[in-house]
A and B are shown apart, each in its own frame.
Chain A
Amino acid sequence: MQFKSQAVAKPYFIAAIGLFVGQILFGLIIGLQYVIGDFLFPAIPFNVARMVHTNLLIVWLLFGFMGGAYYMIPEEAETELFSPKLALAMFWIFLVAGAATIVGYLAVPYATLAKLTGNGILETMGREFLEQPLPTKLGIVVVALAFLFNITLTVLKGKKTSISMVLLVGLWGLAVFFLFSFYNPVNVVVDKFFWWWTVHLWVEGVWELILGAFLAFVLIKTTGVDREVIEKWLYVIVTLTLITGIIGTGHHYYWIGTPEYWQWWGSIFSALEPIPFFAMTVFAFNMVNRRRREHPNKAAVLWALGTGVMAFLGAGVWGFLHTLAPVNYYTHGTQITAAHGHMAFYGAYAMVVLMMISYAMPILRGRAANSGKAQVLEMWSFWLMTTAIVFITLFLTAAGILQVWLQRASDTPLPFMAAQEKIALFYWMREWTGVVFLIGLIIYIASFFVGGKEEKAA
């Protein structure tokens, strides 16, 4: 690696992968609970396991983003990280806080956890994805600020490239919009309105900037295409993201008690949200086709192309499927949403973090790329996990279409649970596909321990 301090990325990446495994295990638990309702009950009820599944996802992605930033920023700024010690301290704080939170979820009832952690002082808990106890939320803010302080000062003392600027805007946005998780008004409409400022403006706003910056960085490194060309693409993608994504928030405001014009605003702007994702796909393929050199790390290039395609399919196409208000009227909160959520998160964010790890980890371990044998294994894991998520998405989409029909659109609509029983076959297929995903993940981890002739350090 070019700068010693980039090494702080390594523990972040390892933690990310570890938490990823946890997320998948809990995914399998709740997938099974869909069809065997009392599986692990009362030890791990569905609502708790689901919370662990989604919270672990967010936390491992945050570890991945931070690790990616700690790796990328010194190289872009061409200077050592402002404070590697601070980065390592924050790593341990974040890891311990994250682990304690998960243990808290599993060990005591949620209401008890709320009482124990001072939810009475400032009520922030009990909302989907923002379930974290107050101390954890405060911890996230402290870690995020220390992290931003660290990388911002690094950029300020070094070279300021467009890619690091886009990454900084994305990460600062991430921190700023998280602050809305502390705002919990009594009026449930207002609550939901601002809740989306964290949830939507993360994944359909500032996180896309982080995704774009990471993708641009790895493409520069692996293809050797001129920085100016890549930066121009990045600017276009960022602009398209912001034009469509910000007012696109309105596609969550259809049925929560907000004025009717949101149905138009939300439909129109969010219908355009696939465009930046499509631009990213074209970007990735275009740059790889115009490559000026053959980078020895083929696996990283595969992840880069993969994230382009899967983000477009999962976030773009599957999002568009149910984003128009007249369609969403029927599909809101069905398995169609779950289908979209799985492929979008995997395609856009899991894959881009795995791309960063794939590119950076061999270098952090003192070689330009892993051995051919290890890369083949990693590519196997890519295909297994990616194919599995495609099928999970297809099965959930099928389940969702049936659910909409049986429960909402038919002349003789069935009650929720009656409809659920009729589509159980698809939940079983999803669960088995989930097992394939886990096998892919195990192979992914195994690829780190495979020897063979390695590419020499660049």
Chain B
Amino acid sequence: MTTATLSSPTPPKRLPGDLAIWFFILAELLAFAVFFAAYAFARASHVEEFNLYQQTLDRNAGALNTLLLITGSWFVARSVQAAHRDHSAAIARNLWLGWLCGAGFLVVKGFEYAAKFGAGISLSTNTFYMFYISLTFFHFMHVLLGMVILTILWVQARKGVYGSHEANGLESGAAYWHMVDLLWIVLFPLVYVMR
């Protein structure tokens, strides 16, 4: 009897997180979209240069970072699920694991940058490297901001702020973290792999 009422087939549609964070995410996506379009535009007139220098990028590091970010997103999604189930210990634990994945990303990226900068590559080396450094650096800064947000969420979660009664802030932060992940999933094939 109760199961019939509990498992309502179509739960009411609602926007997870705050409307404002979605505006913010859309603005961020738009900024990156313009950057990606500029990349395509520049590549069209420098195809050989782009193909040549793309070979010098560390695709394994890129792939590893893709894995790290997707795993991080999975943990953060688990954290939101835990909140809806009022499983409070799991909220904070999953946020922390998500944060670790972000930190792993930064370390891998750090090694990658060290190799490139060590080889004397800079924003002014050529157009391909200009885009490689700019795009990955802007994304890097977004990972960093995402981790700051996860830290705040973690502190709040430890205080027991989130649960089925209140998940707005958690969902907003999680949505931002997924955006960081989404951007990388476009950026990695575009800059490292596609030719």
- Show the binding face of A for B, using Cβ within 8 Å: 232, 235-236, 239-240, 243-244, 259-261, 264-265, 267-269, 271-272, 275
Contacts and interface: CB of A to CB of B under 8 A. Distances in A.
Given A259-B123, A268-B38, A272-B31, A236 B23 contact: yes
B35 A268 contact: yes
Contacts of B131: 264
B31 A269 contact: yes
B34 A232 contact: no
Instruction: Give the one of B19, B20, B42, B124 with max A CB within 10 A.
Output: B20
A239 B130 contact: no
Contacts of B28: 243
B130 A264 contact: yes
Q: How large is the interface on B (under 10, 10 to 19, 20 to 34, 35 or more residues)?
A: 10 to 19
Contacts of A271: 34
Interface in B6-23: 19-20, 23
Contact of B31 (A244, A260, A267): A244
Nearest to A279: B23
The B interface is mostly helix, strand or loop, or mixed, namely: helix
B55 interface: no
B134 interface: yes
A115 to B, nearest CB: 41
Contacts of B20: 232, 235-236
- Top 3 A-B residue pairs of the complex, sorted by shortest distance between their CB atoms: A261-B123, A236-B23, A261-B130
B123 A239 contact: no
A239 B134 contact: no
A235 B31 CA distance: 18
Contacts of A268: 31, 34-35, 38
A236 B30 contact: no
A18 B114 CA distance: 59
Nearest to B23: A236
Given A232-B19, A259-B124, A260-B124, A265 B27 contact: no
A275 B19 contact: no
Given A260-B130, A272-B31, 17 more contacts: A232-B20, A239-B24, A240-B23, A243-B27, A243-B28, A243-B31, A259-B123, A264-B38, A264-B42, A264-B130, A264-B134, A267-B38, A268-B31, A268-B35, A271-B34, A275-B27, A275-B30
Contacts of B130: 260-261, 264
B175 to A, nearest CB: 15
B27 A240 contact: yes
B177 to A, nearest CB: 17
A267 B24 CA distance: 21
Instruction: Give the one of B28, B31, B34, B124 with max A CB within 10 A.
Output: B31
Interface string B126-162: 0000110010000000000000000000000000000
A275 B28 CA distance: 12
30 contacts: A232-B19, A232-B20, A235-B20, A236-B20, A236-B23, A236-B24, A239-B23, A239-B24, A239-B27, A240-B23, A243-B27, A244-B31, A259-B123, A259-B124, A261-B123, A261-B124, A261-B130, A261-B134, A264-B38, A264-B130, A264-B134, A265-B134, A267-B38, A268-B35, A268-B38, A271-B34, A272-B30, A272-B31, A272-B34, A275-B30
Contacts of A272: 27, 30-31, 34
Contacts of B34: 268, 271-272
A340 B24 CA distance: 28
A282 B20 CA distance: 15
Contacts of B24: 236, 239
A8 B15 CA distance: 46
Interface in B33-73: 34-35, 38, 42
A243 B28 CA distance: 8
Contacts of B31: 243-244, 268-269, 272
Nearest to B130: A261
Contacts of B134: 261, 264-265
A375 B172 CA distance: 45
A264 B127 CA distance: 10
Contacts of A261: 123-124, 130, 134
A236 B24 CA distance: 7
A253 to B, nearest CB: 13
A94 to B, nearest CB: 37
A224 to B, nearest CB: 21
Nearest to A265: B134
A255 to B, nearest CB: 16
Contacts of B19: 232
A439 to B, nearest CB: 41
A132 B42 CA distance: 43
A249 to B, nearest CB: 15
